[in-house]
Structure 1
Amino acid sequence: MAEEEGTGGLSISLRPFEIEDADDVMAWKGDPRVAAFCRWGTYTTLDEAIAFIQDFAIPHEWCRAICVAGRPVGCISVTIGKDEARCRGLLKYELAHRCWGKGVATSAVRLALPAVFRELPGLERIEAMVALENKGSMRVLEKCGFLREVILRKYVIGKGRLWDVALFSILSEEI
């Protein structure tokens, strides 16, 4: 398991999710500040956290818990495109509010990139779409070497509105 030190000496690592992580998952997925830029709604029950782990995280092609000192504080995943799009993946991440601004997300993305390119054969490009209002997430991607390619206006429907998003990418040879 790769590990990196975040700002303030925090020990950041990535690992597969386990059912026993449900309470930790609930801690960030139950926070409306975290859910604000995500497509999912704020979790209200532990059963939702368990279902996330069982039905999404564990069977997913590449999904890891973002851990600080061994405890999950977020999630990072890459979903591979289908058919002619199988050379690219879509990066998504979410992080507990208490970890914002501490280098945790940046460390997690830096740890994930080489692992994803190594573990998912044929992947040449990773993309990320970020709501324009989510300045912190855009900064994370820029610090990790992603290039902002384009603004996609009224591109995503969620939370009762249309979102403008920035499309970022990084290529395998840029890692």
Structure 2
Amino acid sequence: MIILDTSAFVAGFDPFSSKEELFTVAAVKKEILEDSTAWVRFETAADTGRLKVRTPEEDFVCKVKKSATLVGDSFFLSNVDQQVLALALQLKTQGFSPLIATDDYSIQNVADQMDVEFASLATFGIRFRLQWKRYCPACHKRYPANYGSNKCSVCDTELKRKPLKRKLLDR
């Protein structure tokens, strides 16, 4: 069972080349450039039933947000990313073994935190699960991972992030 992120379609994943059951969320389609090859593949696969488009339950979106906050990726996950992760987590709790196909490092980091399998298509993927911290490079003020702005509240400098902890993945 494979859960497809936008990056899977953009990287050229062909839903008809896999024998696995394929899932995604409706919002993925909105991130794909209309009339592109990726968009045509998405549309065709969804229309023929090869790709199942599902909406995850809100409970699982909340669990994803908590996991993303733990590793410091909450600010860097879009709503679509959260839904993809939530769908995978929901299917996992239903007894399935989902694998998220994505090249998005933040999705991979949070997936590993939640013990959900993932695979990269066009990149090497992550080797370490990172716990991030956000900080201001000018005044050195630290911010929680889920701080809602890109700017420092003291000096208005754009925030940066750096790894606080890293753990080698068991892959």
Scaled by the length of structure 2, the TM-score of the pair is: 0.32
Q: Rg larger in 1 or in 2?
A: 2
The structure richer in strand per residue is 1
TM-score by length of 1: 0.31
